[in-house]
Structure 1
Amino acid sequence: MSAVLSLPLETPVLEQPLPPSEPATLFQLHADFVSIRGVRLPRAELVDRSLFTPERREQLRDQLMAGAPFPHLVLENIFNPALLELVLEEFEAQSDNWTDVKSRYESTRRSVLGPTLGPATQLYFDIIHSGWFIDWLSSLTGVPYLLSDPKLFGGGLHESRTGATFAVHRDFNRHRHLGLKNEMVFITYLNKGWHPDWGSGLELWDKKHNRCVTTVQPEFGRTILLPHGPVSYHGHTKPLQAPDGRPRRSVAAYYYTSPLAGKQHGDESASVFMKTHKVDRVKAFARMMTPPAVWLLARKVTGRA
């Protein structure tokens, strides 16, 4: 399904066969809609397409950079609410896919690394991991060559229960397994009718003055894009106390960059042929005998840089 959703939003898609692991009554993908448990989701309405125009990208970038106490962006209803309703339903089916995290700093639970997701949840992550969506994130944040993590290290499904807190913190700098640089986290909340008195609003802190400047309530359909940086301190310090014991739920994904992104890699980024043409062997010898700075200058002059 990722291949289908990585196409531009307006591109028509031919009907696809059902994935062998999904029964026909659970998940269906057609030319113009996705059907999950009987709910039809038009492909053109999975996200609010108005946010992807050049004008809106510029406006959202300005809004993100003006965020206080550090750059961030809060968006309302970017995703079809019917899709998020289905994602919320699938939390109940994740009984064996949770990791409980309890320490003096936090009390929460997250889905395991590389979780088996329900069809709606998988669709949500396929959307935000697709090429056109990542291009949109890059245009808002100014960070090129963003990479997603399909195994959802640190992300996936998040759930907090009564009494849960998360001390003010910055997120990790690098992916524990891949070594990639953490650039941002993207979180969508799934809690209907959330009241601020229940606690667990996401607090954005000014480290210099040691105070909370902005609180984002985890209301259904609300999304926050939080770039990672040296002052991006956040948490939810007020214990969760919903009157009916309801949990606080969200879905989250991190985006990364490689330390080599955008840099000239020379022969390392080219295919290696077992047999090469005589002209290419001469070029390789000339390059070996030429100082790198001179070689790069010559390529720029000839237009081959």
Structure 2
Amino acid sequence: MIIKPLDRDALRARVREATPFPNLCIDGLLDEEFAHRAADAFPSFEQALTMGRQFAALNERGKVQVTNSALFPEPIAELNRALASPEFRDDLSYIFEIPELLDDPHLIGGGMHQTGPQGHLDVHVDFNFEQDRKLHRRLNILVYFNRDWRPEWGGEVELWDEDVKVRHHAFLPVFNRCVIFATSEASYHGVTAVKCPPGNTRKSFAAYYYTQQAPEGWDGKAHSTVFKARPDEILKGKVLMPAEKMGHWVRSTLRGAKKLIKSK
């Protein structure tokens, strides 16, 4: 077993007490020897660039993401299978009290992630509904593979309150640490600026879980990722983010207009 046995009742109790929304931080989730093999299997940042998608937007930059599981080195492929297994999904369903969790074989937004120096991810809530399969996004899991990661290198995953006024947690992405949290309209989270030296990257594996059943209280409105500025990001919140959003709207409108013209 590459995932260590979980004390389901103890973890369930922790989740019930967690703030600002259901979450867990588990150190040593994976068998130690396997975790080292998985870390060694990560491609270099330059190799990953040829395998996946690079982010260079205002809200998310300096990161490359590889979602195609056919490209995963075997230890990473084994991790992906373990996180998607019925046994592990059953554990998560019990711990987070979300029945019938489903894995995502397409790894939309998941897979191998690497962020280089000066990369970051602004505070946001994730998209809430996968339109093609009519599935509701319910849970995120992040596993970190950064040996000897120093606090001054940043890259913490932050959990904020719904108004993005109070930061409740900031977990360093240290080796074999796992952060799991429920995704909802209130689950604002982000990643602080990565300040590792050149030649280093922040490495993680991400997977997301869904349900066919809508979460309690869902208003029926699907949305994409929603970003909010941190309290000290006044310029970004009042000027840069609205400008970025307007730019997306203009580009989307132009694409729609071109398709309409071509169809005539």
Q: TM-score, normalised by structure 2?
A: 0.75
Structure 1 counterpart of 2:102 = 147
Q: Tell me, yes or no, if structure 1 residue 124 matches structure 2 residue 79.
A: yes
| Amino acid corresponding to residue 59 of structure 1 in structure 2 | A
From the CA coordinates, give the structure whose radius of gyration is larger.
1
Q: Tell me, yes or no, if structure 1 residue 104 matches structure 2 residue 55.
A: no
Task: Give 1:259 shift.
Answer: 3.4
Q: Identify the match of residue 3 of structure 2 among 47, 54, 72.
A: 47
CA distance in 2 between counterparts of 1:177 and 1:191 reads 35
**How does 1:212-251 map onto structure 2 within 5 Å?**
212-237=167-192, 239-251=193-205
CA distance in 1 between counterparts of 2:4 and 2:67 reads 30
**How does 1:1-305 map onto structure 2 within 5 Å?**
43=1, 46-49=2-5, 51=6, 56-92=7-43, 95=48, 96-107=50-61, 108-175=63-130, 177-208=132-163, 210-237=165-192, 239-259=193-213
CA distance in 2 between counterparts of 1:209 and 1:137 reads 27
CA distance in 1 between counterparts of 2:189 and 2:143 reads 16
Contact residue 160 and residue 187 of structure 2 kept, 8 A: yes
Task: Give 1:253 shift.
Answer: 0.5
Q: Identity of counterpart residues, as a percentage?
A: 28
Deviations, residues 264-286 of structure 1 (Å, cap 9, x unaligned): xxxxxxxxxxxxxxxxxxxxxxx
CA distance in 1 between counterparts of 2:164 and 2:54 reads 32
Contact residue 115 and residue 151 of structure 1 kept, 8 A: no
Deviations, residues 70-122 of structure 1 (Å, cap 9, x unaligned): 21001111111221222222221754321001111011211034442111111
| Amino acid corresponding to residue 212 of structure 1 in structure 2 | R
| Amino acid corresponding to residue 190 of structure 2 in structure 1 | G
| Amino acid corresponding to residue 121 of structure 1 in structure 2 | I
Contact residue 140 and residue 206 of structure 2 kept, 8 A: yes
Structure 1 counterpart of 2:227 = none
- Cα gap change, 1:202 to 1:223, in 2 (>3 Å): same
- Cα gap change, 1:253 to 1:209, in 2 (>3 Å): closer
Deviations, residues 23-75 of structure 1 (Å, cap 9, x unaligned): xxxxxxxxxxxxxxxxxxxx4xx2222x1xxxx21110110121222210011
Deviations, residues 101-157 of structure 1 (Å, cap 9, x unaligned): 111101121103444211111111111111111110101011111111122111000
CA distance in 1 between counterparts of 2:117 and 2:132 reads 32
The structure where helix makes up a greater share of residues is 2
* Structure 2 counterpart SS, 1:73: strand
Deviations, residues 147-190 of structure 1 (Å, cap 9, x unaligned): 11122111000110010010000111022542310000111000
| Amino acid corresponding to residue 197 of structure 1 in structure 2 | E
- Cα gap change, 1:131 to 1:234, in 2 (>3 Å): same
Structure 2 stretches lacking a partner, 5+ long: 216-264
Aligned residues: 211
**Greater RCO structure (CA 8 Å; 6+ sep):** 2
CA distance in 2 between counterparts of 1:168 and 1:140 reads 25
